Structures are given as C-alpha cells and as structure tokens.
Amino acid sequence: MNEIKTMKALINLWDPIQLLYTGCPEDEYDTYIDFIVKKISSNNPDEIAEIIYSVFSKHWGTMFKHCKKKCYYLAQIYLCIQEDGCKVYTILEKMIKLWDPIGFSNLNYSVINYTEVINSFLVNMQNNVLTSEITYSIFKEIYGDDFKFSIAECEGFIEVLYLKRRFI
C-alpha cells in the first residue's frame, strides 16, 4: 500500500502526459501506477525506470515525450523514499531533477543556486512551515520568471516530501 501511495504521489507530481495539468481527475494515472508497482521486483533503479518507461510509452505512444532519464529520476526517488537511510536532501535533489520546474536540462544554473533551493527547503521543513505557498516563493525568489508553476502545482511537490517526513 505504501508503495502505491509513493508511486502515485511521484507520478502525479511528474504528470508525464500533462493530464492533471489540463484538469483531469487525480486518479487518472491509477491503473498505470498499480501495474508499475506490481511489476517492480527489485531495488534496481534501472529496472524500475525501464518498467515506468515501457508502461507509459506503450499506453500513451507519442504523447509520452519523456526520456528514460526522467523515469530513472522517478525510480531513484521511489527507492529513496522506501529505504530507511535516505536523507531528505537526496530526495529534494532528485525531485527537482524530475519535476524540472524551470527546465534545468535547458538552462545553466550554477550549483550554488541549486544548493540554495535545497537549503531553503530544509530550513522551512525543520521549522514545520513548508507549504505550497512557501515552495512557490522559494522557487520564485531564486529563479524569478523562469519558474512557471503555480502555487497549486507546488502542492504535489510538498506531498512527496512529506512521504519521507520522519527523516527531517
């Protein structure tokens, strides 16, 4: 059950076909999520990424325009949340790569800016004040107009972070 909840939060955050972004219900990916979780038989992120990639590319064809690299990030986050020793910093780093809120792959932001985002999250999480509004303001303050997501879209980011709350 925890595996399905984790995978659902991650896939809804990623929204690989942009179904939730266009107003579809939050359970839109549930059939695929159940199938993916049932197929996972190892803790190998490459194998999990391949399962995710094959499910979405098979069922959505050309509408699924993501590379295997994004599926690999999702697999890493999934495994990190499931294991006991994984730290929130690691999850944050992988989540930002998955969500790609400003197109990191297309921009040359420095490691300092990247670290600044993660540190801002950690401070707010330790103070128990991390909300979708604060998430939005952290990204907006650091990345300005390059950050295109809304406060509502930041809610999924928070949901995934709090799946791993016990390590804060």
Q: What is the pLDDT of residue 166?
A: 44
Token pair belonging to 139: 């990204």
Residues 136-165: tens digit of each pLDDT:
988 888 888 888 888 888 888 888 777 765
d(CA 53, CA 56): 5
Q: Other CB atoms closer than 10 Å to residue 110's CB: what's the count?
A: 8
Confidence tier at 131 by pLDDT (50, 70, 90): confident
Q: Which of 82, 84, 121 is nearest to 99 (CA)?
A: 121
Residues 79-130: tens digit of each pLDDT:
888 776 667 777 788 888 777 777 655 555 544 456 778 888 888 777 667 7
Helices (H), 28-104: 30-39, 45-60, 68-82, 88-99
3 state DSSP class of 135 = helix
Residues 58-78: tens digit of each pLDDT:
988 887 877 788 898 889 888
